[in-house]
């Protein structure tokens, strides 16, 4: 079975609470591991940008679960393609909290320093997640 990559953006719903991000990450880590799905999540208390990689069946299943999740609204697929290798094989769901470094990265790929994945090109959104991955790996090496 071939690998696919799905990149989507969503906006938090009015029902989103401060504990939801922890629950989302914990659930994603657990469920994605069971289905051999890897990925990366960026979140700024307003928008989500997430990449999922794995088999078409499992990535689609997870995406449809997310689409039904009442904590997400305005879900938009930015990119969906077959891939030869995973870009986020290190994590079932990598994540970096909003920091000054992220603000600098947002500026690199956006019209301004505000994170709005709907205003980014699919290529820019994916490149942003790759740069976030590099920041996480760098922080892990420094600690």
pLDDT of residue 43: 85
pLDDT of residue 83: 97
Rounded-to-integer distance, Cα 7 and Cα 139, Å:
24
pTM for this entry: 0.91
Rounded-to-integer distance, Cα 13 and Cα 72, Å:
5
Rounded-to-integer distance, Cα 68 and Cα 33, Å:
20
Q: How many CB atoms lie within 10 A of CB 70?
A: 9
pLDDT of residue 99: 64
Dihedral over Cα of 121, 127, 130, 134: its sign: negative
pLDDT of residue 102: 77
Q: How many domains does the chain have?
A: 1
pLDDT of residue 93: 82
Domain containing residue 107:
3-142
pLDDT of residue 120: 92
Q: DSSP assignment, residue 47?
A: E
- CATH number for the domain spanning 117: value is 3.30.70.100
Rounded-to-integer distance, Cα 104 and Cα 38, Å:
25
- Grouped pLDDT means (10 residues each) for the chain, 143 residues: 94 89 88 94 89 97 95 96 95 74 82 87 94 86 79
| Residue 95 neighbours by CB under 8 Å, 6+ apart | 25, 40, 41, 42, 43
The string of DSSP codes covering 56-89 is HHHHHHHHHHHHH-TTEEEEEEEEEEEESS-S-T
Rounded-to-integer distance, Cα 73 and Cα 46, Å:
11
Contact of 32 with 111, CB cutoff 8 Å: no
């Amino acid at each position: 079975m071939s690998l696919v990559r799905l990149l989507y953006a969503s906006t938090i719903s009015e029902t989103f609470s401060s504990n939801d991000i922890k629950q989302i990450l914990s659930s994603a880590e657990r469920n994605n591991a069971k289905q051999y799905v890897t990925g990366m999540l960026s979140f700024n208390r307003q928008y989500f940008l997430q990449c999922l990689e794995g088999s078409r069946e499992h990535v689609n299943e997870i995406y449809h679960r997310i689409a039904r999740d009442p904590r997400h609204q305005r879900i938009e697929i930015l990119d969906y393609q077959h891939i030869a290798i995973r870009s986020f094989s290190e994590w079932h769901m990598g994540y970096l909290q909003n920091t000054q470094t992220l603000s600098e990265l947002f500026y690199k790929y956006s019209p301004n320093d505000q994170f709005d994945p709907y205003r980014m090109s699919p290529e820019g959104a994916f490149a942003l997640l790759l740069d976030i991955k590099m920041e996480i790996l760098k922080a892990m090496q420094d600690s």
